């Protein structure tokens, strides 16, 4: 068996790589705030592309250091995505360049960030990050509550898109509370942060062997749900329910069930004491009167694929249906199903890109089932299903969703590629036990 040294997380990274990693995470979280409240319209692009610049520097630095050789199969998939998109990219160059760049980097750069993260962090790195992320989640739920209870024309309720004359604010509930956007450019950003951060906190709650970290993750998961309520969005709550049920199914220990029960009880007690009840009432009202079918939103418009491919086999060009292209034309349109838009832009090659992208998550799930590492198994149970749906639904046209979900997927993958020694988890999945008494040389990789 080939003897591979596991990644040592942040210890194996240079100072420049650590700075770019922190920079890309911060840029993802506060990019909207900078654009909404600090930058003039002429400098909006600086805030918008900040996270992509940090991500590109981080990826190039890590690739040049040779620390990602263990993820060659995943890297090859991303390279194939880039190659397959070349014809559609060439067709799209006849239109606005910004739409081409945005769609291409969402389809290629951020999956590559997830692959690189798989060998860049370890359990200690994640435990160190939990207090900071929890603090940001608490700040976000406080800011989101203030936004929801403020008027639509309040300064804190400004959207980054207001510069494009699209300042109509979304409201929810009979009291017309504003759907909060937090420090993100639009409410969908805070919604995706709520879903992603809850799954991350729940995973670390199950997988971490540090008691302090587990309690921090418990508080963070409550704050993440609070963020979801202030947005009025149902998707993060659905992700939370799926992740929680799968996590309990994987864990199946009385002690954990009691701890989760106590956590949920504290959450309800804290919400009734400190959280404005009008927000929860408005959220329930919107859930019952949204006027759309969740099943239709999940399944999308896949029946149109064959018809669209027959009409334009190579598509109409990358970026032609991008919102950035619409912005340049002075309008803002509601995004249709992302999978349909990709096929519209890239034709049958867009369908190939979709399959390659989904195969990354499927490969990680398969590898988890084969290696049976406890932390990775918990990640599969809690993160796997929501992440697979997010990637299947298409992330190419939402820059915040793309970055946050691929960071989460990369962090989960780190429990596979960093090695069992760096994820010294005190728990184990259902019947998946690694017998530590068996010598390493007697076990196959």
Residues 373 and 434: their CA atoms lie apart, in Å, by 7
What is the pLDDT at residue 443?
Answer: 37
Per-residue pLDDT tens over the stretch 338-355:
778 888 888 889 889 999
Summarised one tens digit per residue, pLDDT across range 37-62 is 988 877 887 888 899 999 999 999 98
Backbone angles phi, psi at 171, to 5 degrees: -125, 165
| pLDDT at position 366 | 93
- Asked if residue 122 lies in contact with residue 417, where contact means CB atoms within 8 angstroms, the answer is no
Residue ranges of the chain with per-residue pLDDT less than 70: 1-12, 161-169, 174-175, 252-257, 260-261, 263-276, 288-305, 323-336, 418-445
Contacts of 369 (CB under 8 A, 6+ apart): 380
- Please answer whether residues 395 and 354 qualify as being in contact, where contact means their C-beta atoms are separated by less than 8 angstroms: no
Across the strands, what pairs with 171?
Answer: 178
* Contacting residues for 1 by C-beta, under 8 A, at least 6 apart: 441, 444, 445
Task: Give the list of residues 6+ apart from residue 229 with CB closer than 8 angstroms, or none.
Answer: 275, 279, 280, 283
Give the side-chain half-sphere CA count within 13 A for 284.
4
C-alpha distances out from residue 209 to 216, 312, 427, Å: 12, 54, 8
Q: What is the DSSP letter of 382?
A: I
Position 117 scores a pLDDT of 92
Exposure string for 23-33, b = 16+ CB within 10 A, e = fewer: bbbebbbbbbb
Closest to 132 (Cα-Cα) out of 62, 201, 226, 48: 201
Q: Are strands 177-178 and 171-172 parallel, antiparallel or unpaired?
A: antiparallel
Return the pLDDT at 189: 92
Cα–Cα dist 21/25, whole Å: 6
pLDDT at 328: 55
Q: What global pTM score does this model have?
A: 0.86
Question: What is the pLDDT, as a whole number, of residue 276?
Answer: 64
SS3 118: coil
Predicted local distance difference test score (pLDDT) of residue 48: 85
Handedness of CA 93, 97, 103, 107 (dihedral sign): positive
Task: Name the nearest CA neighbour of 152 among 128, 124, 172, 137.
Answer: 172
Q: Are 288 and 72 in contact (CB under 8 A)?
A: no
> What CA–CA distance (Å, rounded) separates 111 from 47?
21
CA neighbor of 342 nearest in space, from 382, 293, 392: 392
Q: Which of 393, 416, 415, 417 is nearest to 405 (CA)?
A: 393
Q: How far is CA 86 from CA 48, 340, 341, in A?
A: 24, 19, 17
């Amino acid at each position: 068996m080939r003897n591979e040294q596991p990644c040592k997380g942040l210890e194996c990274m240079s100072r420049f790589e650590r700075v770019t990693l922190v920079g890309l995470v911060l840029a993802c979280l506060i990019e909207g705030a900078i654009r909404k409240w600090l930058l003039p319209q002429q400098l909006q692009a600086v805030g918008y592309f900040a996270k992509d610049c940090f991500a590109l520097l981080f990826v190039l630095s890590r690739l040049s250091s040779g620390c990602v050789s263990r993820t060659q199969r995943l890297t090859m998939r991303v390279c194939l995505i880039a190659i397959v998109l070349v014809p559609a990219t060439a067709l799209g160059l006849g239109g606005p360049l910004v739409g081409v760049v945005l769609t291409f980097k969402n389809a290629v750069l951020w999956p590559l960030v997830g692959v690189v993260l798989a060998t860049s962090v370890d359990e200690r790195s994640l435990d160190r990050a939990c207090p900071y992320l929890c603090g940001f989640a608490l700040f976000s739920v406080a800011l989101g509550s203030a936004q929801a209870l403020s008027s639509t024309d309040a300064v804190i309720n400004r959207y980054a898109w207001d510069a494009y004359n699209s300042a109509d604010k979304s409201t929810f509930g009979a009291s017309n509370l504003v759907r909060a956007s937090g420090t993100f450019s639009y409410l969908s950003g805070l919604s995706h942060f709520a879903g992603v951060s809850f799954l991350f906190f729940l995973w670390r709650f199950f997988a971490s062997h540090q008691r302090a970290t587990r309690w921090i993750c418990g508080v963070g998961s409550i704050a993440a749900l609070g963020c979801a309520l202030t947005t009025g969005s149902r998707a993060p709550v659905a992700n939370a329910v799926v992740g929680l049920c799968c996590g309990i199914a994987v864990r199946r220990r009385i002690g954990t069930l009691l701890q989760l029960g106590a956590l949920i009880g504290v959450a309800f007690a804290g919400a009734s004491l400190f959280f404005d009840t009008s927000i929860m009432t408005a959220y329930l009202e919107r859930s019952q009167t949204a006027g759309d079918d969740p099943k239709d939103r999940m399944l999308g418009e896949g029946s149109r694929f064959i018809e669209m491919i027959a009409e334009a086999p190579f598509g109409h060009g990358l970026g032609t249906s991008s919102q950035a292209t619409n912005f340049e034309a002075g309008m803002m349109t509601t995004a249709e199903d992302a999978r349909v838009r990709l096929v519209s832009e890239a034709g049958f090659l867009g369908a190939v890109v979709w399959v390659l992208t989904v195969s990354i998550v499927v490969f990680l799930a398969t590898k988890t089932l084969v290696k049976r590492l406890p932390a990775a198994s918990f990640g599969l149970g809690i993160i796997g299903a929501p992440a697979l749906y997010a990637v299947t639904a298409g992330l190419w046209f939402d820059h915040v969703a793309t970055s946050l979900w691929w960071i989460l997927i990369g962090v989960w993958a780190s429990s596979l590629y960093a090695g069992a020694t760096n994820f010294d988890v005190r728990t184990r999945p259902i019947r998946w036990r690694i017998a530590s008494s068996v010598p390493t040389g007697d076990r196959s990789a």
